Amino acid sequence: MSGNVLDEGWWPRQNGAGICNLYALTKSQDELRRLIEVAVDHTDNLPSLLSIFLNTAVPVVHVADGRRTLSK
């Protein structure tokens, strides 16, 4: 066993897609804004996400018009 789950061929699948819920969004929207120093926020009301899967919409930080922006 190499220790790499992907190499072992037993990676869990659901409807043919790999599943990965190793990530969660537990910080509030205000905490994210302060932590990332966002200038523009386009996320509206951002809920906490205890599990993030491949098809989950999550906040993304990018630069638009020279300003750090938070979007969905």
Per-residue model confidence (pLDDT) at position 48: 85
Nearest-angstrom CA–CA distance, 17 and 2:
22
> Does residue 14 contact residue 48 with C-beta atoms inside 8 Å?
no
Per-residue model confidence (pLDDT) at position 37: 92
Per-residue model confidence (pLDDT) at position 5: 44
Per-residue model confidence (pLDDT) at position 1: 43
Beta bridge partners of 40: 69
Average pLDDT by stretches of 10, the chain with 72 residues: 45 52 83 91 87 83 93 88
pTM summary value: 0.60
Per-residue model confidence (pLDDT) at position 64: 93
